[in-house]
Chains A and B, each alone.
Chain A
Amino acid sequence: MLENIYTELIAEHSRSPENRRTLPHATHTERGHNPSCGDDITLQLEIADGKIVDASFGGTGCAISQASTDMMIELLRGKPITEAKRLAEIFIAMIHGDITDDDTLAALDDAAALKNISTMPARVKCATLAWHTLEAAITDGDAHA
């Protein structure tokens, strides 16, 4: 069970420093928090012409929440917001076990590695925190840096 969750890929993403920074030209800053366990991330987006030009994050949390955030940022950089919303729906459906076919999940790139979290109810919210934070950031409408 553990080796399917704590893969090397997830371990690497959870410790990867590149996306842990402050965006100089952020248009959206959104804080996401799991009060019951303390995962606490701040997601920054630079959006121009309906596209995510750049993204970054800060904060603390478990390996799953941190890896999930890092993989999400890698995936979203350069993507249109409409595509980001579609990917968020796929990711959240994957974590809840509603989408399981690998062809659809291929769109998630590395983030598809979190598929097995769907078998661990206690950790679902760790994996989805970044994506729910993204949804809050891009559905708030107006830019707030």
Chain B
Amino acid sequence: MTKNFLNDFPILRGKMNGNALAYLDNSATTQKPEGVVRSICGYYGGCNANPHRGVYELSVKATKVYEDARRKVADFIGADGREIIFTKNATESLNLVAYSYGLTNLHADDEILITVAEHHSNLVPWQMVARATGAKLNYVYLDADGNLSAADIAAKLTRRTKIFAVTHISNVLGIVNDIKALAARAHEVGSVIVVDGAQSVPHVPVDVGDLDADFLAFSGHKMLSPMGIGVLYGKRHLLDEMPPFLRGGDMIEYVTEQETTFAELPQKFEAGTQNVGGAAGLSAAIDYINGVGFDEIERIERDLTTFAIAELKRLPYVELYGCDVANKIGIISFNIRDVHPHDVATILDAAGVAIRAGHHCAQPLTKYLGQSATCRASFYFYNTRRDVERLLDAVQSVRSVMHLA
């Protein structure tokens, strides 16, 4: 029997527009369990000082909270603590790689390969690198099912490719890419692989050693943690060679009037006072996720996804995107014929059902799908079949509200 997670998430017991809340926008951000909120309060209430700097006990306590969180993250994804850089979010992590690795290592005639299913955070920075270095930005497109086109990868991942940046799970289609195989292919041609793990790390077990990912970026807020804490994992030898991204306090070794030498990893990439409260929250979130277990998380999300797709397919006026694939989890994009997604989202909102409508920060993909926008329902382990039923009921009311039926 599934645990009733609602006890740990008071916000999910609340109402929206007078109806019980069915929160189905987990790809945008997840809700936070009480334990995570308590850990943030506990840090600021009992341990707050500037870490790494003071010699007094409170500062030592703050340092311990921060560095324990780093170790927790490292263990969670199979990395070494020195390979874990705390950032603001996945976007900052990917920008760090683009600015620090991309601008340093790419030249004219080199190529960057990304996929048409990337979130803007794993797309716009690479446009910048291509423009600044003269490198060419190429795209992998999708096959008829919505998977990455194997033929496209074979043709475009070549000796010229120096960076292959790819999402682990599409934030629009929910399709899981085989990162281990893609990493092996990238390494064969001498490219690094940059993995956007924003939608995968919260939902499936990720082991950077097993995947052989060179860089992995993810956000805390999509995995029960507060907003404003994110992670960049990078292989140590790559991070060691990279110049700092931001410069200032705490990332230095010696500073003279004209010169600076930089701190060792990971401090080299953590300039200024960091989000220690956020790190405490992320640490508690990882404990919570480990407590639930990925087997259970996958089981619940697969059940909800399968159920929702099967029921949506029965509605002749619903069009689904990328839903005929086995390796899909947690995220469903759809449209209702003759109704714009924003109107759908407003009608669902009135029924207490929170979904996202729009381009989901993936405009090239939306255009590639031939749409101007889509509706997206996305699940986490605390969602229930009842939430999906509420979604389905509301979806079935849309056309009559719009005077179409």
Partners in one complex: yes
Residues of A within 8 A of B (CB): 1-3, 5-6, 8, 11-12, 15, 36-40, 60-64, 66, 120, 122-123, 126
Partner among B339, B359, B403 whose Cβ is within 8 Å of the Cβ of A38: B359
B266 in the interface (beta carbon within 8 A):
no
Interface stretch, picked from B7-15, B98-106, B342-350, is: B342-350
Given A6-B403, A63-B339, A37 and B347 touching (CB < 8 A)?
no
Q: Is B357 at the interface (CB under 8 A from chain A)?
A: yes
> In the complex, A37 Cα to B340 Cα: how many Å?
11
Do B358 and A36 touch (CB < 8 A)? yes
How far, in Å, is A124 (CB) from chain B's closest CB?
12
**A126 and B342 within 8 A (CB):** yes
Residue from B357, B358, B403 with most neighbouring chain A CB atoms (10 Å): B403
Determine which of A3, A40, A64 lies in contact with B343 in the assembled complex, contact meaning CB atoms within 8 Å.
A64
Nearest chain B CB to A94 CB, angstrom units: 19
Nearest CB to that of A39 among chain B residues? B342
B residues 382-405 near A (Cβ < 8 Å) are 401-404
Compute how far the CA of A123 lies from the CA of B349 in the bound complex, rounded to whole angstroms.
12
Flag if B342 contacts A2 (CB, 8 Å).
no
Given contacts A1-B350, A3-B401, A66-B340, 7 further A-B contacts (CB under 8 A): A1-B17, A2-B347, A6-B403, A11-B402, A11-B403, A37-B342, A62-B342
Closest B residue, CB atoms, query A15:
B338
Residues of A within 8 A of B401 (CB): 2-3, 6
Q: How far is the CB of A83 from chain B (nearest CB, A)?
A: 31
The complex places the Cα of A1 from the Cα of B16 at a distance, in Å, of: 13
Residues on A with beta carbons closer than 8 Å to the beta carbon of B339: 63
Closest to A63 in B: B343
User: Which of A11, A62, A122 is the most central at the interface, judged by chain B CB atoms within 10 Å of its CB?
Assistant: A62
Chain B residues 300 to 347 lying within 8 A of chain A, measured CB to CB, are 338-343, 346-347
Q: Which 6 A-B pairs have the closest CB atoms?
A: A62-B342, A62-B340, A11-B403, A60-B372, A38-B373, A63-B343
- On chain B, the residues within 8 Å of A122 by CB distance are 346, 349
Q: Chain A: which residue is nearest B340 at the CB level?
A: A62
Q: What is the distance, in angstroms, from A4's C-beta to the closest C-beta of chain B?
A: 11
Encode contact with A along B95-125: 1 for CB under 8 Å, 0 otherwise. Answer: 0000000000000000000000000000000
Interface residues of B (CB under 8 A from A): 17, 338-343, 346-347, 349-350, 357-359, 366, 372-373, 401-404
Chain B neighbourhood of A38, CB < 8 A: 358-359, 366, 372-373
Tell me whether chain A's interface is mostly helix, strand or loop, or mixed.
helix
Q: How far is the CA of A6 from the CA of B405 in the complex (A)?
A: 14
The docked-state distance in angstroms from the alpha carbon of A2 to that of B349 is 10
Determine whether the beta carbon of A37 is less than 8 Å from that of B357.
yes
Majority SS at the chain B contact face: mixed
Is A120 within 8 A of B346, CB to CB? Answer: yes
Whether A8 contacts B358 by the Cβ 8 Å rule is no
CB closest residue in chain A, given B361:
A36
Report Cα–Cα, A36/B402, bound state, in Å.
23
Closest B-chain residue to A9, C-beta based?
B403
A126-B401 Cα distance, complex, nearest whole Å: 18
Structural contact, A6 and B343, CB atoms closer than 8 A: yes
A-B contact pairs, 10 of them (CB 8 A): A2-B350, A3-B401, A5-B346, A37-B373, A38-B366, A61-B340, A62-B343, A64-B343, A122-B349, A126-B342
Residues of chain A with a CB closer than 8 A to B402's CB: 6, 11, 63
Docked Cα-Cα span, A123 to B401, in Å, equals 17
Q: What is the CA–CA distance of A6 and B346 in the complex, to the nearest angstrom? A: 10
Please measure, in the bound complex, the distance between the C-alpha atom of A39 and the C-alpha atom of B341, giving whole angstroms: 11
- Is the CB–CB distance between A40 and B372 below 8 Å? yes
Which A residues are CB-close (under 8 A) to B347?
2, 6
The interface residues of chain A lying within 8 Å CB-to-CB of B338 are 15
- The answer to whether residues A8 and B346 also contact, given A40-B372, A62-B340 and a CB cut-off of 8 A, is no
- Rounded to whole Å, the gap between the CB of A116 and the closest CB of chain B is 12
In the complex, chain B residues whose CB is within 8 Å of the CB of A63: 339-340, 343, 402
**B404 neighbours in A (Cβ, 8 Å):** 11
Closest Cβ–Cβ distance, residue B226 to chain A (whole Å): 23
Question: Chain A residue with minimal CB distance to B357?
Answer: A37
Least CB distance, A41 to chain B, in whole angstroms: 11
List, in ascending order, chain B residues with CB within 8 A of A126's CB: 342
Q: Measured between alpha carbons, how far is A5 from B345 in the docked complex, in Å?
A: 13
A6 CA / B343 CA spacing, docked (Å): 9
> Which B residues lie within 8 Å of A123 (CB)?
342, 346
A123 to B358, CA, bound (A): 13
Residues of A within 8 A of B346 (CB): 2, 5, 120, 122-123
Give Cα A141–Cα B352 distance, bound, in whole angstroms: 46
Nearest A residue to B403, CB-CB: A11
Q: How far is the CB of B311 from chain A (nearest CB, A)?
A: 22
Q: Which residues of B contact A66 (CB under 8 A)?
A: 340
State in angstroms the CA–CA spacing of A16 and B358 once bound together: 23
